[in-house]
Amino acid sequence: MPTAPFKSVQRVCQGSERFALPVWVARLLNASCRSGQRFFFGKSTSISYPSSALKNMSEKKIQTDVQMKRALTRISHEILERNSGAKDLILVGMHSRGVPLAFRIRGLISSYEGQTVDVGSLDIGLYRDDLSVKPQAAMKPTDISVDISGRIVVIVDDVLYTGRSIRAAMDAINDLGRPSQIQLAVLIDRGHRELPIRADFVGKNVPTSREEDVEVKLVEIDGLDEVVISSPIT
């Protein structure tokens, strides 16, 4: 019997009723899903941090809204150049800020190519390798409504750090189909990789220490576009 925590999860598939499953069962059943299905996961304990954790930190803006737009424009052109156009592309944004970034890149690609690129959203909560040691954040829907088999999947995220989230994202995607390629586009690469993972498309490389924190703020979620880095005051 699997030893994963027994938490309720809701799974919704086309032509089926909604039913509750333990997390480990829902994860195993991911592999049986086909295109057009959506998963809606119930909320679990959200992560909260004490206010003291935010003290003694200084903030510095490292990317403005104009610079962010330029970075996304460059990423969009690089995606098209590498893949010889938009044919067979699907952008998959990782919750939370990777999703609006994926839609922005789609808008830019559509303006260049005159065709609409498919976009999906992905929650990696059930695929993380730290479920037993860290509280799990509230789950959000994975919504990939097209068949990804044989397609070029571009994972979109805001910050690339250790690479563990991207490893989880690839596991989740492979449970939904067999893409011809998986590529990675990130707005910020801050280094400190713990797995052999690299981004194919990077908006900005930002050398950081592990004590620093990089925060991407987007209009769709935060009301403004900027990237700030928080450093401990010594």
Output 46 or 208, whichever has higher pLDDT: 208
Is the full-model pTM beyond 0.85? no
User: What count of other Cβ atoms lies within 10 Å of the Cβ of residue 216?
Assistant: 23
Mean pLDDT in residue range 173-199: 97
Q: pLDDT digits over 24-47, tens only?
A: 444 544 444 444 444 443 333 334
Where does the pLDDT of residue 55 fall: very low under 50, low under 70, confident under 90, or very high at 90 and above? low
Mean pLDDT in residue range 44-62: 61
Contact 20, 7 (CB under 8 A): no
Q: What integer pLDDT is reported at residue 178 of this predicted model?
A: 97
| Residue the block writes with tokens 């962010």 | 68
Where does the pLDDT of residue 129 fall: very low under 50, low under 70, confident under 90, or very high at 90 and above? confident
Contact 189, 202 (CB under 8 A): yes
**Is the pLDDT score of 10 beyond 80?**
no
Share of the chain above pLDDT 90, in %: 68
Q: Which domains does the chain have, with CATH numbers?
A: 54-232 (3.40.50.2020)
**Is the pLDDT score of 3 beyond 50?**
no
Share of the chain above pLDDT 70, in %: 73
CA separation for the pair 73, 84 (Å, rounded): 16
Q: What integer pLDDT is reported at residue 57 of this predicted model?
A: 87
Structure tokens at 158: 């805001």
Measuring CA to CA, how many Å separate 86 from each of 3, 76, 152? 43, 10, 9
Where does the pLDDT of residue 153 fall: very low under 50, low under 70, confident under 90, or very high at 90 and above? very high
Which are the contacts of 102, defined by CB distance < 8 A and separation ≥ 6? 91, 92, 93, 119, 120, 121, 156
Mean pLDDT in residue range 193-208: 97
| Pairs from 2-7 (Cβ < 8 Å, separation ≥ 24) | 4/131, 5/131, 5/132, 7/42, 7/44, 7/136
Q: What integer pLDDT is reported at residue 52 of this predicted model?
A: 37
Q: What integer pLDDT is reported at residue 132 of this predicted model?
A: 62
Q: What integer pLDDT is reported at residue 136 of this predicted model?
A: 65
